[in-house]
Structure 1
């Protein structure tokens, strides 16, 4: 993912994503303005603006997953360090408002 001029890449990590009809493995990139998931296969990438995120939760007991809710979609991310990623996203959201 190529960030805009006024964006900084804060985190890039391998992840799996699950949605309603989507299951893919790829790369998760967090910038100062958006969250982007680029699958390894030729599937379409997903980009979510941080302002569109309504809720961030950690789900699961043994294997923690990050659940991100927007107005239209709910994404479940299987990513190493889900707690830390949730904290980063919450901090970014607090600075946007």
Structure 2
């Protein structure tokens, strides 16, 4: 299972969600750093606060997948209405490239 982060931990890691990398239909993605210096991308999901059990099941499934062409899911936050996914940050361009 990926690491469970508190919302406050991710606020600190992203410096209060200040550097937005992108925005899509399911939420926004922000750049951040873990305490050990690991660069992360934090996806803040919109409108899924009522499906926590389903969210956690999906996190477990996604977290168990490892492939060279997929970014690694590092962790998540499921706290009150906050649903966030924490991925390794893909530097130097988009995932498509």
TM-score, structure 2 normalization: 0.33
Larger RCO, structure (CA 8 Å, separation 6 or more): 2
Bigger proportion of residues as strand? 1
TM-score, structure 1 normalization: 0.33
